[in-house]
Amino acid sequence: MAKNIFYYFVLLLALLLYPINYVSAHDYYTIRKGDTLIHIARNFQVSVQEIMAANNIKNPDCILIGQQVVIPNQKKENQTHVVGRGETLSHIAKGYQISLAEIIRINQIKNPDLIYPGQKIVIPSNNPVNIQEDSEPNFIWPAEGWISSYFGKRGDNFHFGIDVANEIGTPIMAAECGEVIFCGTASGYGKLIIIDHSKEYLTYYAHNLKNNVKEGDVVFQGQIIAFMGTTGNATGPHLHFEVRKNGVPQDPMDFLHQ
Ligand SMILES: [Zn+2]
């Protein structure tokens, strides 16, 4: 008797699983030069977030040529997005290729600046809108500490970055994902790392005690790339951090949230 129930159960399970297997067949896509996740998502009519989730991609700007990505099934019902740390509504809207106004309307959000991690946001599935692709990079603070020197004129010289001071050995993190294009020692800078974030941006991390990456590494935002030191022209332990756009030093404070 128990055996019969077992067989029925197996049969039922097989019947249930068959259509699930069928509908969950995935498409695959191999990333080519010039592709962006936004283009791929648009072509397959899925959201960037869905592709990122299905492939465990942490940053949509960090995809590699030749990388094979799973294209999840197209879904038509509304989805729910759980707000992560540091996310803004405009990032979420961009990720799903829908307008910010639409998210605010559907969720009846009174103040778009007041969203909190863990909050559930309904993402409408209809009518993706065109979104801007050439956004500014989203840098995070590369180290904990206090600012001992700002960008700008300093005596007779010009200070091309900011100095973040802290104890020797304090971890230094990649401000945004990118490729390490220099890792070594440079005059004045001491032990230096330069990361290329594409979109014309480079970041510099100088005076390091020890570099923790090598040239050619693709690093993720927040990855520990070095430890704070005093190498090069430094009187005390600090990180000298530069942001360069098309080679021109920018004030890093314009990119960092307070
Ligand atoms: Zn400096």
Q: Are residues 155 and 243 in the same domain?
A: yes
Q: Are residues 71 and 162 in the same domain?
A: no
Which of 75, 102, 117 terminates a domain? The answer is 75
Range scoring the smallest mean pLDDT among 29-33, 38-42, 126-130, 224-228: 126-130
* Average model confidence (pLDDT) across the chain: 84
- 141 assigned to some structural domain: no
pTM here?
0.56
Q: Are residues 188 and 235 in the same domain?
A: yes
Cα-to-centroid distance, 180 and ligand 1 (Å): 20
Q: Are residues 154 and 247 in the same domain?
A: yes
Which of 135, 160, 175 terminates a domain? The answer is 135
**What domain range is 84 assigned to?**
76-135
Tokens representing 163 are 């100095």
- 30 assigned to some structural domain: yes
Residue 6 pLDDT greater than 50, yes or no: yes
Q: Are residues 103 and 195 in the same domain?
A: no
- 26 assigned to some structural domain: yes
Q: How far apart are CA 44 and CA 51, in angstroms?
A: 10
Q: What is the pLDDT of residue 111?
A: 82
Which of 50, 75, 100 terminates a domain? The answer is 75
Cα-to-centroid distance, 211 and ligand 1 (Å): 17
Q: Are residues 211 and 155 in the same domain?
A: yes
Give how many domains the chain has, as a whole number. 3
Q: What is the pLDDT of residue 22?
A: 43
Cα-to-centroid distance, 221 and ligand 1 (Å): 22
Amino acid at residue number 94: K
Q: State the pLDDT confidence band at 27, using cuts at 50, 70 and 90.
A: confident
Cα–chain center distance at 198: 13
CATH label of the domain that carries residue 163: 2.70.70.10
Q: Is 232 exposed, middle or buried (0-12, 13-18, 19+ CB in 10 A)?
A: middle
Cα-to-centroid distance, 155 and ligand 1 (Å): 13
pLDDT tens for 156-213 read: 899 999 999 999 999 999 998 888 999 999 999 999 999 998 768 999 999 999 999 9
pLDDT tens for 32-89 read: 877 888 888 888 878 888 888 888 787 777 777 777 888 887 656 678 899 988 888 8
